[in-house]
Structure 1
Amino acid sequence: MSPRLVHLTTTDMSLDWLLRPQLEAFADAGFEVIAMSAPGPHVAALDASGIRHVAVPALTRSMAPGRDLQAFAQLVARFRELRPDIVHTHNPKPGVLGRFAARLAGVPVVVNTVHGLYAVPGDRPAKRAVVYGLERLAAACSDAELLQNPEDLPV
């Protein structure tokens, strides 16, 4: 049986334009690859390349606490249903929600890629405290953290 790998982003565009070569490489290496995001127009391109997409309807890019709680519940339910061996999250919001949801659902391996944080040293201290604090808490749920930017390492 092939290991089941879920890649989670907020938008299907990220899966298609940024991650599709990686998703295809994992599929070629024998993984069962599942892409997860909010539904959108790029799902057809993923399907055409043989990548299965599972929608998380409540997942949005905007900060909306009610929808974020819905998205978290949907993620836990999807992970429990799919029973992936690995969940790999991308981007700040799905990174936080996805890592917590994966652990709650009992996913054995959780990986996160930090593509850049939503706060930088020049931002207000309150914003930095919230963003960095959530990132540190979520990182405790990860088996591996991959960073693209050296300035994100101290967080």
Structure 2
Amino acid sequence: MQKLIRITTIPLSLEKLLEGQLTYMSEFYEVTAVAAEKERLEKYGRENGVKTFWVEMTRAITPAKDMKAVWKLYKFFKKEKPLIVHTHTPKAGITGMLAAKMAGVPIRLHTVAGLPLLETTGTKRKILDAVEKLTYKLATRIYPNSAGLKEIILAEGYTREEKLKILGRGSSNGIDTAYFNPESYPSGQNVDFKTKTGIPQEDLVFIFIGRLVSEKGINELVAAFKKLQLAHSNISLLLVGPLEEDLDPLKPATLEEIEKNPKIFTTGYQQDVRPYLAISNVLAFPSYREGFPNVVMQAGAMGLPAIVSDINGCNEIIKQDKNGIIIPVKDQEALYYAMKSLINDEIRRKSLSAGARDEICSKYDRKEFWKILKEEYELLEVSVKKT
């Protein structure tokens, strides 16, 4: 059985971004998952039936640590002799692709699920641009997970078009539409869970899922919600995700509002977000940048309409007035009016909700995506054998 090595910077990406995918691939390949955070990685390996290999990596610019990671990966690849190394996330991409090239790995693949560098400027941006170009040069194929992302990559001149390919209709993993199914959450169960969270039963609930950082639009979301409360008392804002205060902290005023506002509820990181989606009415996702966001697909599969920024990925999943509303990026007023319109117009809200699940089920089923990726691996393997 040929060897497949999949690399992400941290295990969280394996758990969420690639949920179930490595276990599926282990039916056809000897799979090893590589990431930082040794204990969490090993736990992932046990739960998903794949081998693991720990490498210290960070999401910050750390050249000395990065070169140690490259050397450790290089020695591992020389020993294991994998057919395929497939990386995700920027740091895993540069370290994994460089080590794989040095070790002579024949198939070197990198998935682009977002470009954090787009929010940076100056010298840091130049460094990150150079790293991105090098990653793509070292890879044999690059997979942007959305059409918009592909356009950005070409516009920035990171690589040539023939090296890029979008798998299926986009995404890095599709969505498990049987798992994310509102029928699994009957109304009585939702009433109990809503009571448990402290949200009033009569409230219309806006939900956000993801890291609570500035680039996810949390400052604008909290400000818009606060303004809405002046005229609407029966609304709540549910923030599901970890607060990260190091790389991209929220404004102090936002943090204070989250802490003091009795109608803003936070949960921290949640392994299973379905119960929270089941008690919510609208996904509010005003992110500045994305690849192909799982959260928007998950919410849609659970029957929630979404308010999203007009950015790649989001504007491919959401069709205006069919399953959600698209607003300009970083536009607090547009976010406010979109949220207000769904509070005031119940008929429109229910119409968008009705179209939400069908849109996801028809285009982004997870098992179909896995088959597409497996077929891609097989095609590449054939091409390698021919050469």
Report TM bin, short chain: 0.7 to 0.9
Contact between 2:3 and 2:83, CA under 8 Å: does it hold in 1?
yes
Q: Cα 1:72–1:42, aligned 2, differ >3 Å: closer, same or farther?
A: closer
Select the residue among 123, 128, 140 that pairs with 1:131.
128
Shift of 1:90: 0.6
Q: Which residue of 1 aligns with 2:236?
A: none
Shift of 1:42: 4.4
Letter of the structure 1 residue corresponding to residue 18 of structure 2? L
Shift of 1:144: 0.9
Structure 2 spans left out of the alignment, 5+ residues:
157-387
Q: Matches of 1:133 and 1:65 in 2, distance apart?
A: 14
Q: Which residue of 2 aligns with 1:52?
A: 51
Contact between 1:10 and 1:60, CA under 8 Å: does it hold in 2?
yes
Larger Rg: 2
Letter of the structure 1 residue corresponding to residue 136 of structure 2? A
Letter of the structure 2 residue corresponding to residue 19 of structure 1? L
Select the residue among 81, 84, 93 that pairs with 1:83.
81
Q: Matches of 1:101 and 1:95 in 2, distance apart?
A: 10
Q: Which residue of 2 aligns with 1:94?
A: 92
Shift of 1:106: 0.9
State yes or no: 1:143 paired with 2:140.
Answer: yes
Q: Matches of 1:13 and 1:105 in 2, distance apart?
A: 27
Contact between 1:16 and 1:46, CA under 8 Å: does it hold in 2?
no
Contact between 1:10 and 1:37, CA under 8 Å: does it hold in 2?
yes
Q: Which residue of 1 aligns with 2:25?
A: 26
Letter of the structure 2 residue corresponding to residue 73 of structure 1? W
Shift of 1:18: 2.1
Structure 1 spans left out of the alignment, 5+ residues:
none
Which structure is higher in RCO with an 8 Å CA cutoff and minimum separation 6? 1
Q: Which residue of 1 aligns with 2:111?
A: 113
Contact between 1:6 and 1:33, CA under 8 Å: does it hold in 2?
yes
Contact between 1:76 and 1:101, CA under 8 Å: does it hold in 2?
yes
Query: Mean alpha-carbon deviation: is it higher for 87-96 or for 140-149?
Result: 140-149
Query: Mean alpha-carbon deviation: is it higher for 136-145 or for 18-27?
Result: 18-27
Query: Mean alpha-carbon deviation: is it higher for 110-119 or for 40-49?
Result: 40-49
Contact between 1:118 and 1:131, CA under 8 Å: does it hold in 2?
no
CA offsets per residue over residues 30-54 of structure 1, 9 Å max, x none?
A: 1111101111324213212211111
CA offsets per residue over residues 87-144 of structure 1, 9 Å max, x none?
A: 0011001101110110001111100001112211x53143332212211122111111
Count of residues in correspondence between the two structures: 151
Shift of 1:60: 2.3
Q: Secondary structure at the match of 1:119?
A: helix
Bigger strand fraction: 1
Q: Secondary structure at the match of 1:61?
A: coil
Residue identity over aligned pairs, in percent, reads 30
